[in-house]
Amino acid sequence: MAEDSFNADELNPPEWLNVEFITEVLSGYEKEPDLSVTNLIFTPASAKGDHYASIMFRAKVQYKTSKGSLKKSLIIKTMPVEEGAKKDMFADSPLFKTEIGMYSKVLPETERILQEVNDNTKLYVDCIYHSLEPRQVIIFEDLVEMGYAIVRNRWLTQEEICSAYFKLAKIHAVSMKMINKRPEFLAEFKYGMCDMPGLMDSPIINSGMTPFTEMLGSTPELEKYQPYFKKIGLDYKDRLRDIMQEYRTNPQSGYYVLCHGDYHSRNMMFKHNKETGCFEDCMLLDYQGCNVVPMAVDLMYSIYMLMGTEQRSGQLETLLNYYFSVLLETLKKIGYKGAMPTTNGFWAEMKRHRYYEFLLLSTFLPVSIGIRTYGMDIEDAILNPETRKKYYQITDVIEESKLMLARFEKSGYFEGL
């Protein structure tokens, strides 16, 4: 893969990422004090567009222990080392603390609760090392070595999406039991998108609503929706903060879960049989944004960042209903004692939090289509408002907006604005 296919800050590992550090990590993990690294090669572990808030390296390690000569492939996740908007935005965020808490505490407990009812669903890859000081770093087993891969050059199939929803529904269901029975267990998971330093005032959020509203006014079939979005644009960020902080500041009778927080197709890997090509498994990744919020948050995000055009246009309700069926089945299996969610209640929750979907349609869908379909640069798309404006002229964006807005109208999203 050419160098320009990688994030620039992943081409050269930081100085501390060296033989001495890897020796310390593996010695502790394998409980082999005399372990010695005999060969170490670092390469970028992800391509442009795979992620944004961190950098990742793959370490191919050959080493010796009392057991003989061994080799291992590791994925090392840390913070950007270069200065700039990306580092400034995430340097003081709780991302790494949240992800460490997920891998060291919540996900193991989630699997334990499932195993008590003979459900052996695997929800995470093993974490072999983590640290916040003197640097933020997490090291995982390499899923590529286990046959998993990120889907890059196509949209996901219905089977792949259902598998991803299956895993998400399990996590959501167990978190509902935790919230109901021992809410203090998840008390630290309270930082989401709205809590990232400067994010709510960044181009990621700010540069979408205006060009989207202008596109509505210049498209005859969509012109009737422009007055709604002019009104939505006046306070959508305040409404978004209310949604993300609702559980902590103004809890309602809705459905709250520990959400993934960044549930898109590049934050999961899929395994297919090498001989037959048949689908085998999905593994969710990147638990940095997990926090307790309304259930609708992950699901709305997935509509625009996980589904492709085919799913959004013809399978949306089928896929979300599949997620909901797995959620209910799991809640019953694990002995959830709270009020059981209902189908009507589920769709009412989606409508109640519609301001989040207004943001996703106006701001995230054009970027998602631009990056996935047309190979546009993710950092340019996120940080350059002039580049972002071009996305709203893409035919695919206009056509999908027609479908989504018709669904909004049918579902009563514009009532009472």
The alpha carbon torsion through 77, 78, 82, 83 (nearest 10 deg) reads 130
* Amino acid sitting at position 220: P
Q: Write b or e for each residue in 212-224: b if 16 or more Cβ atoms lie within 10 A of its Cβ, otherwise e.
A: bbebbeeeeebee
Q: What is the CA radius of gyration of the chain?
A: 22
Q: What is the pLDDT of residues 244-254, one digit of tens each?
A: 999 999 999 99
Confidence of residue 3 (pLDDT cuts 50, 70, 90): very low
Nearest to 148 by CA among 167, 120, 130: 167
- The residue from 23, 51, 82 where one domain ends is 82
- H helix or E strand, kind and range, residue 274: none
213 & 236 share domain: yes
Q: Write b or e for each residue in 334-370: b if 16 or more Cβ atoms lie within 10 A of its Cβ, otherwise e.
A: bebeeeebeeeebbebbebbbbbbbbbbbbbbbbbbb
234 & 282 share domain: yes
CATH number for the domain spanning 321: value is 3.90.1200
Higher pLDDT, 47 or 18: 18
pLDDT at position 192, please?
Answer: 77
- The residue from 24, 55, 82 where one domain ends is 82
68 & 188 share domain: no
Using CB atoms within 10 Å of the CB of residue 330, give its burial: 0 to 12 exposed, 13 to 18 middle, 19+ buried: buried
Q: In what order do the strands lie in the sheet with 279-284?
A: 148-149, 268-272, 279-284
Please state the rounded mean pLDDT for residues 252-276: 94
DSSP 386-402: HHHHHHTT-HHHHHHHH
CA 166 remoteness from chain centre: 15
- 43: domain range? 3-82
Confidence of residue 191 (pLDDT cuts 50, 70, 90): confident
- H helix or E strand, kind and range, residue 172: helix 158-181
With a pLDDT cut of 90, the percent of the chain lying above it is 74
Q: Is residue 357 part of a domain?
A: yes
